[in-house]
Copies of this chain bind each other. A is one copy, B any other.
Amino acid sequence: MKTFDDLGFCKVDTDRETRTGFPEVIFCQGKTTAQIAAIFRRLLDHHGKAMATRLDAAGAQSLSVLFPEARYDAVSRIFSQGGAARRFNGEVLVLCAGTADVPVAEEAAQTAEWMGCRVGRRYDVGVAGIDRLLAYRDEVARAGVLIVVAGMEGALPSVVGGLTGSPVIAVPTSVGYGAHFQGLTPLLTMLTSCAAGVSVVNIDNGFGAAYQASLIMKLAHEGCRHAASLS
């Protein structure tokens, strides 16, 4: 049985939705506009919806002509059409430490929404003014999954991790300078967090954090049906 669609330069994984619950998403960096368009078309034909991340403004302009019903968000750089039919119970709360982290936070928030999550947002709540975070302590405690986005020293996930009994997915950003090394520093900070329950994705990978958050929310939503079938 054929599980992919061969375009030569690309083998579109059309089986992925069956296998993992979500269709393939296009990561645009390093691909030509023509390649993106071809893959987007196949995904759209196959799943009735499609999403592409890290698309720059020029590429968006070209693709909009070909896909007039698609939306482009200039902050998150997401180009998408359609979206999840269902809506999972519970909330994914996206926090970010500073104003400059908003683009990555929005990549996460909009991805999670596209995949079927309800999403809350609290931005610019970095730890150097701890009262800003503490003002939302209840929301933090109540969220199903937390995506915590931070550049600079990346300390926010450690504090958040201590305020919640839900999983925290930390996203370091490339926002900073000097000893920040394009995001290496918050990445290391988050990996060595003294708060248990924090896991980490790649620098600026808002998409990946949202993807995992959505897998978790789906699991919770389905009441662990997979699991149940084991017992």
Contacts and interface: CB of A to CB of B under 8 A. Distances in A.
Interface stretch (A42-50, A55-63, A76-84, A166-174): A166-174
A151 B27 CA distance: 13
A179 B203 CA distance: 6
Given A167-B216, A177-B202, A143 B189 contact: no
Nearest to A223: B223
A128 B194 contact: yes
A158 B154 CA distance: 10
A132 B13 contact: yes
Contacts of A198: 201, 208, 212
A91 B227 contact: yes
A195 interface: yes
A142 interface: yes
Nearest to A1: B131
Nearest to A30: B100
Interface in A102-146: 102, 118, 123-132, 134-135, 141-145
Nearest to A162: B128
A20 B130 contact: no
Interface string A187-224: 11111111111111111110111011001111111111
A64 interface: no
- A interface, how many residues as a size bin? 35 or more
A220 B209 contact: no
19 contacts: A19-B163, A31-B100, A35-B99, A89-B227, A127-B162, A128-B162, A142-B226, A152-B194, A153-B190, A153-B192, A166-B219, A168-B212, A178-B182, A179-B191, A180-B188, A185-B192, A187-B191, A199-B201, A219-B220
B203 A209 contact: no
Contacts of A227: 89-91, 142-144, 220
A149 interface: no
